[in-house]
Amino acid sequence: MLPYQTLQEAEEALGRTATFAEKLWFTYSAKKPDYILHYHNTLFLFLFYSILPLPYLFIELYLSKNMDRYKIQPKIKRSIWDMFKCYRDVMLTFVVAVCPVQILSYPTIKCIGIRTGMELPSASEIFLQLLVYFMIEDFSHYWLHRMLHSKWAYQKIHRVHHQYTAPIGLSAPYAHWAEVLILGFASFVGPAIVPCHMTTYWLWFILRQLEAIETHSGYDLPWSPTKYIPFYGGAEYHDYHHYIGGQTQSNFASVFTYCDYIYGTDKGYHHHKKVLQKLKENVGKEVREN
Ligand SMILES: [Zn+2]
Ligand SMILES: [Zn+2]
């Protein structure tokens, strides 16, 4: 909620004319209490989880033949019923575990200094903050994920996420409720260390969701804009982690590849890629000779 009755009052406090985005923000947020703005994240969680995987589902169900060359594990197909069960289970986890934590976390959000003021951050501030959040989240996620691959944690918790040896977009948050909370915590570390504006905070969780759905999509699409992000893992990278399953000691990172490179947990993946490349070359040679 903004402490101004009119836009004019807000502009006087700013000491300048409000930008177009700030005017929009004023219109939207001026009368809404801060806790309502914070609870938007819960709404976005349901909304974007329901919308973002749709293109991948459409490809899997209706364009499967044309898009098979981009499917990472083309032999495994999911029915609409499989997808519905995944969606239903994830929604249940959101309602039972994630929503209560998000609602109860409001005082923490206030404490760490997530601001809702009239002055919006610049594009460069948003970019730098998001970059820091991704780096911090990636590092925290890497180690928490490695811990989830210990014998006890895998059997009790992480096994659920690995039920999908060939993941689909909807299965990104398909996991034991404890895992959703443990790995969700990693996403809060960045904003806790470098507090931001509420709009950046929303954007961060939407992008994080978008990234998780893409890396679990099961499709390595060559035109994906993420192909231009340096050190970005992507769908093929994380798919390998699911393909190997519980025994894997490779590709623990969620977004970038730098942690796996530094700690030497990408060797299995690179070996696998080399073997596949050799197989492809041999098949090509045989075709040419015949
Ligand atoms: Zn895992
Ligand atoms: Zn996964």
Distance 33 CA to ligand 2 centre (A): 36
Q: Which residue has the higher pLDDT, 62 or 144?
A: 144
Indicate the pLDDT class of residue 5, thresholds 50, 70 and 90.
Answer: confident
Q: Does residue 49 lie in a domain region?
A: yes
- Gap between the Cα atoms of 104 and 108, Å rounded: 8
Q: Does residue 224 lie in a domain region?
A: yes
Q: Is the pLDDT of residue 144 over 90?
A: yes
Q: How many domains does the chain have?
A: 1
Average pLDDT value for the chain:
93
* Rounded mean pLDDT, 123-142: 96
Task: Give CA angle at 206 (163, 146), nearest 5°.
Answer: 40
Q: Does residue 286 lie in a domain region?
A: no
Which residues have C-beta within 8 Å of that of residue 224, sequence separation ≥ 6? 214, 234
Q: What are phi and psi of 18, to 5 degrees?
A: -70, 145
Distance 173 CA to ligand 2 centre (A): 8
Q: Is the pLDDT of residue 28 over 80?
A: yes
Q: Is the pLDDT of residue 285 over 90?
A: no
Q: Is the pLDDT of residue 68 over 90?
A: no
Q: Is the pLDDT of residue 141 over 80?
A: yes
pLDDT score, position 23: 93
Distance 138 CA to ligand 2 centre (A): 13
Distance 39 CA to ligand 1 centre (A): 29
Distance 72 CA to ligand 2 centre (A): 14
pLDDT tens digit sequence for 177-213: 999 999 999 999 999 999 999 999 999 999 999 999 9
Indicate the pLDDT class of residue 80, thresholds 50, 70 and 90.
Answer: very high
Q: Is the pLDDT of residue 288 over 90?
A: no
Q: Does residue 277 lie in a domain region?
A: no
Q: Is the pLDDT of residue 64 over 80?
A: no
Q: Does residue 285 lie in a domain region?
A: no
- Gap between the Cα atoms of 2 and 34, Å rounded: 9
Q: Is the pLDDT of residue 242 over 80?
A: yes
Indicate the pLDDT class of residue 145, thresholds 50, 70 and 90.
Answer: very high
Distance 147 CA to ligand 1 centre (A): 9
Distance 246 CA to ligand 1 centre (A): 7
The residue segments making up the domain with residue 87 are 33-264
Distance 162 CA to ligand 1 centre (A): 6
Q: Does residue 289 lie in a domain region?
A: no
